[in-house]
Chains A and B, each alone.
Chain A
């Protein structure tokens, strides 16, 4: 049997808009209940079960916590499993990505922490806009192509956000 839907695990309805605080609070509660330490004296079978549940819970939490992963998961629930490795041709967006990466490179070369902060704000805004757009269209079967394009863009921005964080850490040292 397949495992229950990630949302159901947290007693949530499938939705893109999530209260992340509620999600993490619920996660901590559930994680405590299946924590391997609690099963130290239990049978081997129970220990294994708890371990599986703990891993499943963690996977579900990591998926729902991240906007692009949650978006991909929602599309898969609606019968549209997107391939992981794919080449995207979204010229205008990619051109902008190229420019932003050039900018980030310059900020790195000049060790411009204030500039990085401004960059980060803009990136956050762009992520917020993408998320708003995705929330408005993902459950509309007539707008699936749009939802797919948006989730791909979210993935790029997510990677970029990671790089910004890495750069901040390097510059902070």
Chain B
């Protein structure tokens, strides 16, 4: 199966790969996995006092589509408020990356990682 150019670009030059201190009160961590393909994805956000996501990092063990989906997700989250970030849909990620139907679940995983990271941050701040 051929990957789209955008997937290849994110796969070869992933944006924002890295790790933040999960203990930092301003950091939210989302950890999700897809058992059928064995993918594991960690997505982290650092949120400033205005509730804006200043920085986002990810680390994904998985296929090219999973890496590209999480890489794109971190790009899109930066500069957004938590509510804006939470409204990112997997369909938008899949469309931007031109994912084929069999790889849609990779974008679902990324959306779930975004939501998990936001929820973790909100829990830390007592916002839930």
Binding site for B on A (CB under 8 A): 84-91, 94-95, 97-98, 101, 152-153, 155-156, 158-160, 162-163
Q: How would you classify the secondary structure of chain A's contact residues: helix, strand, loop or mixed?
A: helix
Tell me whether A101 and B61 are in contact (CB under 8 A).
yes
Which residues in A have their C-beta under 8 angstroms from that of B34? 85-88
B interface residues, tally (CB under 8 Å) = 17
> Which of A87, A155, A156 gathers the greatest number of chain B CB atoms within 10 Å?
A87
B105 close to A (CB within 8 Å): yes
Confirm or deny: B33 has a beta carbon within 8 angstroms of a beta carbon on chain A. Answer: yes
Contacts of A88 in B (CB 8 A): 32-35
Are B38 and A98 within 8 A (Cβ)? no
Q: How far is the CA of A90 from the CA of B31 in the complex (A)?
A: 8
Neighbouring B residues of A158 by C-beta, 8 Å: 38
Q: Which residues of B contact A (CB under 8 A)?
A: 31-38, 40, 42, 59, 61, 105, 108-109, 112, 116
**Please, how many angstroms separate the alpha-carbon atoms of A48 and B88 in the complex?**
50
- Smallest CB separation, A156 vs chain B (Å): 5
Q: How far is the CA of A97 from the CA of B105 in the complex (A)?
A: 20
**CB-based A-B contact count at 8 angstroms:** 56
Is there contact, CB below 8 Å, between A155 and B35? yes
- State A151–B38 Cα separation when bound (angstroms): 12
Given the interface contacts A87-B108, A87-B109, does A98 sit within 8 Å of B35 by beta carbon?
A: no
Q: Which residues of chain B are within 8 angstroms of A84 by Cβ–Cβ distance?
A: 36
Contact B36 A155 (CB under 8 A): yes
CA distance A127 to B36 in the complex (A): 16
On whether A156 and B31 interact (CB within 8 A), knowing A85-B105, A87-B108, A98-B61, the answer reads: no
CB pair A89–B116 under 8 Å, yes or no, is yes
- In the complex, what distance in Å separates the CA atom of A114 from the CA atom of B61? 23
Chain A positions within 8 Å of B37 at CB level: 159
CA distance A89 to B40 in the complex (A): 10
Among A87, A162, A163, the residue within 8 A (CB) of B33 is A87
| B35 x A95 contact (CB < 8 A) | no
Report A-chain residues with C-beta under 8 Å of the C-beta of B108.
Answer: 85, 87
A-B contact pairs, 12 of them (CB 8 A): A87-B32, A87-B108, A89-B31, A89-B33, A91-B31, A94-B31, A94-B32, A94-B42, A97-B61, A155-B35, A155-B36, A156-B33
Top 3 nearest A-B pairs (CB, nearest first) are A159-B38, A155-B35, A87-B112
Q: Are A101 and B32 in contact (CB under 8 A)?
A: no
Given contacts A88-B33, A94-B31, A98-B31, contact A156 B38 (CB under 8 A): yes
| Shortest Cβ distance from residue B11 to the other chain A in the assembled complex, whole angstroms | 16
With A156-B33, A159-B37 given, can you name 7 additional A-B contacts, CB distance below 8 Å? Answer: A89-B116, A94-B42, A95-B31, A97-B40, A98-B42, A101-B40, A156-B40
Shortest CB distance B58–A (Å): 11
Cα–Cα, bound, A95→B35 (Å)? 14
